[in-house]
C-alpha cells in the first residue's frame, strides 16, 4: 500500500466531504474563529502593552522616593535630596513636581508636570497628543487653566508631544516650575517626589533599603516594582476580559462537546458505508482527523489574522476601554506587533488540539462497529 498516496487520497476526500456541508462547516468555522479572535486579541494586546510599558519605563528613574504623611502621599522637602545623595551608589537625585488637573470643559483629568529645562518660558505649555485632541476648537492655541484660587492662567500651547510614547504621555501637560507652583500653590522648597538614578542596577534594592533607614517617613519605589505592577494590572485586566468572554467560550466548549459526544445520523451512516466498502477503522479515523485539522487550523489562522488586524491596525476598538488605563483620554496609538512562538503555541494547543481530539473520539466509536451494520441500514 502506498502510504503517502493513501494520506493524499483520504485528505482529498475529506476536503470534498467538508465542501458538501458548506453551511454547517461555515457556521462552525465562524464560531471557532470568533473565539480564537477574542482570545488572541486579549493576548496580543496584553503582550504589546507590557512591551510598550517596558520600553517606555526603560528610561524611567531607578528609584522614586515619595514622602508619606499619615500613610498618604505628601509633598517632599527638597532638603531630603542632600541626604539621599550621600548614599553610596546614588548617581543623581532630583525633585519632581507633578500632579493632576481637572479640565471641566472636557471633563478630563490631565497629568501636569513641571520641567526644569522647559524651553518655552512662563505661560507656555507643551501638550500630550490626547490633551490636544480633546481641546474644544474654540480654545485655539491658548489653554485657560483654573488655578487653586479659582482665577485663570492663560497658557500658550507651544508644542505637541510625538505619539511614539503616547501610552504614558497622552494626558500630559508640561510647563515651567514657576507656573506649576503658581497654579497649584506649591511652596518653594518642596516637590512631589524625588527621582534617583543608581549606577549599578544590582545596588538598587540596597539603596532603597538605606533610604527607608535614613528617611523613615519616605517610601522608595523601584522601577522593577513599577514594571511588576504594570504586568499585574495588564494581566488582571486581560483576565477580566476573558471572564467577560466566558459566554462565548462556554458556547464554544458546548459546541466542541456536542461534537465529541455524538455524530449526526448521516455521518454515522456514511462511516458505516465506508467500512462496508473496505475502509479500515484507521482510514475512517484518518479522515476525521484531517477533517478536524482542516476546520480547526483554518479557523485558528483566520482568528489569529483577524486578531492581528484588530489589535495592530484597528486600535483594538473592542477592548480598548478595558485595557488602556482609566483616564478619559484614551491613548490613540499603533502598538508594535509582539508575537512570540510560545504564545501562538499556547493558543494552538488550547484550541486546535482539543477540537481535533473531539472530532476523532466519536468517529473512532462509530468506526469500530461491525461494517455489516450498513447491510441492515
Work out whether 26 is an interface residue with another protein (CB under 8 A): no
- Burial-class residue 183 by CB neighbours within 10 Å (0-12, 13-18, 19+): buried
Grid cell in block for residue 3: 502510504
How many CB atoms within 10 Å of residue 36?
26
Position among 174, 274, 329, 352 found at the interface with another protein (CB under 8 A): 274
Least Cα distance to 179 among 157, 149, 147, 150 occurs for: 147
What is the closest distance, in whole angstroms, from the C-beta atom of residue 276 to another protein in the complex? 6
Give min distance, CB of 325 to another protein, in A.
Answer: 53
Q: How far is the CB of 22 from another protein (least distance, A)?
A: 10
Among 10, 33, 47, 241, the residue binding another protein under the rule CB under 8 A is 10
First to last CA, the chain: 30
When binding is defined by CB under 8 A, the residue of 58, 82, 265, 375 that contacts another protein is: 375
Does 2 interact with another protein (rule: CB under 8 A)?
Answer: yes
Give CA angle at 158 (157, 159), nearest 5°: 105
Residue 283 contacts another protein per CB under 8 A: yes
If one asks whether residue 13 binds another protein (CB under 8 A), the answer comes out as: yes
Distance CA 70, CA 208 (A): 21
Residues 209-238 that bind another protein (CB under 8 A): none
Is 265 a binding residue for another protein by CB under 8 A? The answer is: no
Shortest distance, CB of residue 372 to another protein, whole angstroms? 4
3-state secondary structure (DSSP) of residue 309: helix
Report the alpha-carbon distance of residue 238 to residue 39 in Å, rounded: 10
**Contacting residue, 118, 279, 319, 355, with another protein by CB under 8 A:** 279
Specify the residue, 20 or 185, whose C-beta has the smaller distance to another protein: 20
State which residue, 177 or 366, has the beta carbon closest to another protein: 366
Contact between residue 204 and residue 221 where contact means Cβ atoms under 8 Å apart:
no
Task: Indicate the residue among 197 and 373 with the shorter CB distance to another protein.
Answer: 373
Amino acid at each position: 500500500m502506498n502510504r503517502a498516496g493513501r494520506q493524499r487520497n483520504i485528505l482529498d476526500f475529506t476536503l470534498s466531504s467538508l465542501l458538501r456541508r458548506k453551511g454547517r462547516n461555515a457556521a462552525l468555522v465562524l464560531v471557532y474563529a470568533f473565539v480564537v479572535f477574542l482570545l488572541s486579541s486579549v493576548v496580543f494586546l496584553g503582550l504589546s502593552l507590557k512591551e510598550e510599558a517596558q520600553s517606555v519605563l526603560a528610561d524611567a528613574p531607578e528609584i522614586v522616593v515619595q514622602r508619606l504623611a499619615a500613610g498618604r502621599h505628601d509633598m517632599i522637602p527638597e532638603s531630603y535630596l542632600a541626604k539621599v545623595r550621600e548614599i553610596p551608589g546614588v548617581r543623581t537625585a532630583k525633585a519632581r513636581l507633578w500632579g493632576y488637573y481637572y479640565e471641566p470643559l472636557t471633563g478630563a483629568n490631565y497629568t501636569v508636570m513641571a520641567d526644569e529645562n522647559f524651553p518655552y518660558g512662563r505661560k507656555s505649555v507643551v501638550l500630550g497628543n490626547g490633551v490636544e485632541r480633546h481641546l474644544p476648537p474654540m480654545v485655539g492655541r491658548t489653554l485657560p487653566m483654573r488655578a487653586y484660587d479659582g482665577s485663570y492662567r492663560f497658557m500658550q500651547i507651544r508644542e505637541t508631544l510625538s505619539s511614539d510614547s503616547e501610552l504614558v504621555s497622552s494626558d500630559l501637560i508640561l510647563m515651567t516650575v514657576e507656573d506649576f507652583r503658581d497654579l497649584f500653590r506649591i511652596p518653594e522648597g518642596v516637590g512631589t517626589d524625588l527621582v534617583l538614578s543608581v549606577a549599578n542596577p544590582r545596588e538598587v534594592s540596597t539603596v532603597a533599603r538605606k533610604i527607608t533607614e535614613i528617611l523613615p517617613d519616605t517610601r522608595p519605589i523601584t522601577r522593577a516594582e513599577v514594571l511588576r505592577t504594570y504586568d499585574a494590572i495588564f494581566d488582571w485586566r486581560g483576565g477580566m476580559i476573558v471572564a467577560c468572554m466566558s459566554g462565548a467560550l462556554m458556547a464554544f466548549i458546548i459546541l466542541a462537546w456536542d461534537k465529541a459526544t455524538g455524530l449526526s445520523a448521516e455521518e454515522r451512516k456514511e462511516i458505516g458505508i465506508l467500512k462496508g466498502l473496505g475502509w479500515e477503522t484507521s482510514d475512517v479515523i484518518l479522515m476525521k482527523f484531517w477533517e478536524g485539522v482542516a476546520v480547526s487550523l483554518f479557523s485558528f489562522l483566520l482568528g489569529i489574522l483577524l486578531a492581528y488586524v484588530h489589535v495592530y491596525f484597528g486600535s483594538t476598538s473592542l477592548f480598548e476601554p478595558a485595557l488602556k488605563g482609566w483616564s478619559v483620554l484614551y491613548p490613540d496609538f499603533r502598538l508594535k506587533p509582539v508575537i512570540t512562538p510560545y504564545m501562538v503555541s499556547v493558543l494552538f494547543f488550547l484550541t486546535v488540539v482539543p477540537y481535533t481530539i473531539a472530532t476523532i473520539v466519536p468517529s473512532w466509536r462509530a468506526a469500530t462497529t461491525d461494517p455489516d451494520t450498513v447491510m441492515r441500514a
